[in-house]
Amino acid sequence: MWVALLIFALAPNIIQVDANISKSMHLTWGVRHASILGEDLHLVLDKTSGSAAQSKRSFLFGSIEMLIKLVPGNSAGTVTAYYLSSAGSQHDEIDFEFLGNSTGQPYTVHTNIYTQGKGSREQQFFLWFDPTADFHNYTIHWNPTAIVWYVDSVPIRVFRNHEKEGIAYPNKQGMRVYTTLWNADDWATRGGLVKTDWHSAPFTARFHHFRARACKSGGARSTNQCASNVPANWWTSRRYKQLSHSQIGQLNWVRNNYMIYDYCTDTKRFNGQIPPECFKPQF
């Protein structure tokens, strides 16, 4: 109740980011060949440069939604990224990265989360569709309770807030939305074995329909200001705190059939010291 009142009291400051990409984002790299027009953002990579864009605002919590159509054909060596990040050495970050592949071979969806500068929490998946044939919905849902990575409304990963048990959670630093397309053939393709085929350049990744049902960053948690499209019960309702039974079913389906890598099972990498959140319930 108090939360709802607070949000309405702050209504004059509501955050309107549900408009054009052209109003809410700007190009920061490769501006010569990338473009933003209305609802559409095209990032381009050729031999001279990749490209990038970022949101003008930063957010503290929100449901950040983007429709993306990835580089088609021989995209091996290219990486398209869509992520939230704060600034500084103790930065927080929530990542979706799409590693291209040879024609007809599947993309890898690489996810990660940094809290106070610490990452190394990768999970990787294949997709159950061709992400280059059409636009698909990649949404990062980030509230005080949990972060959920959604692909076409199917949750593929959850990182819950276990701050009380000493595991850092991103809830103090505002984050901007970033998109980039770059050449990563030194690592993305089987450790650099497959090189980017520049005969297929320029490569284009298309973004469309950027929506942020988000809260404004800055100030104490109790004074967050949320957009009018953020449900008033966002902070309190069970619905926004945990996945439904059917969503848990979907998440397990993804993990059982499409998961390629999970840092939580990589005992060799961590010398047997698996990170503590791996032992906590995540969904």
Ligand X SMILES: *[C@@H]1O[C@H](CO)[C@@H](O)[C@H](O)[C@H]1NC(C)=O
CB of residue 12 to ligand X, shortest distance in Å: 20
**Contact between 65 and 83 (Cβ < 8 Å):** no
**Contact between 24 and 33 (Cβ < 8 Å):** no
Stretch (H or E) spanning 99: strand 93-99
Query: Is 242 an interacting residue with respect to ligand X (CB under 6 A)?
Result: no
| Conformation bin of residue 252: beta by default, left when phi > 0, alpha when psi is -120 to 50 | alpha
| Conformation bin of residue 30: beta by default, left when phi > 0, alpha when psi is -120 to 50 | left
Q: Decide if 39 is catalytic.
A: no
Query: Is 219 an interacting residue with respect to ligand X (CB under 6 A)?
Result: no
Whole-number Å distance between alpha carbons of 142 and 177: 12
136 vs 162, beta carbon nearer ligand X: 136
Query: Is 250 an interacting residue with respect to ligand X (CB under 6 A)?
Result: no
Whole-number Å distance between alpha carbons of 219 and 174: 10
Q: Which of 65, 97, 165, 277 is catalytic?
A: 97
Q: Decide if 97 is catalytic.
A: yes
Stretch that binds ligand X, among 17-25, 163-171, 238-246, 265-273 (CB under 6 A): 17-25
CB of residue 117 to ligand X, shortest distance in Å: 26
CB of residue 158 to ligand X, shortest distance in Å: 13
Query: Is 153 an interacting residue with respect to ligand X (CB under 6 A)?
Result: yes
Whole-number Å distance between alpha carbons of 122 and 270: 13
Distances (CA, A) of 158 to 67, 88, 121: 20, 25, 12
Pull the structure tokens for residue 124. 């990787």
**Contact between 62 and 213 (Cβ < 8 Å):** yes
Residues between 89 and 108 that touch ligand X (CB under 6 A)? 99, 101, 105-108
Query: Is 65 an interacting residue with respect to ligand X (CB under 6 A)?
Result: yes
Stretch (H or E) spanning 23: helix 21-24
Which member of 114, 142, 150, 203 binds ligand X (CB under 6 A)?
150
Q: Which of 93, 122, 163, 165 is catalytic?
A: 93
CB of residue 232 to ligand X, shortest distance in Å: 16
CB of residue 90 to ligand X, shortest distance in Å: 29
Stretch (H or E) spanning 213: strand 203-216
Residues between 179 and 208 that touch ligand X (CB under 6 A)? 188-189
Query: Is 11 an interacting residue with respect to ligand X (CB under 6 A)?
Result: no
CB of residue 120 to ligand X, shortest distance in Å: 19
Stretch that binds ligand X, among 7-15, 19-27, 86-94, 174-182 (CB under 6 A): 19-27
- 87: CB partners within 8 A, 6+ apart: 173
Query: Is 51 an interacting residue with respect to ligand X (CB under 6 A)?
Result: no
Cite the active site residues: 93, 97
Residues that bind ligand X (CB under 6 A): 19-20, 22, 38, 65, 99, 101, 105-108, 137, 139, 150, 153, 188-189
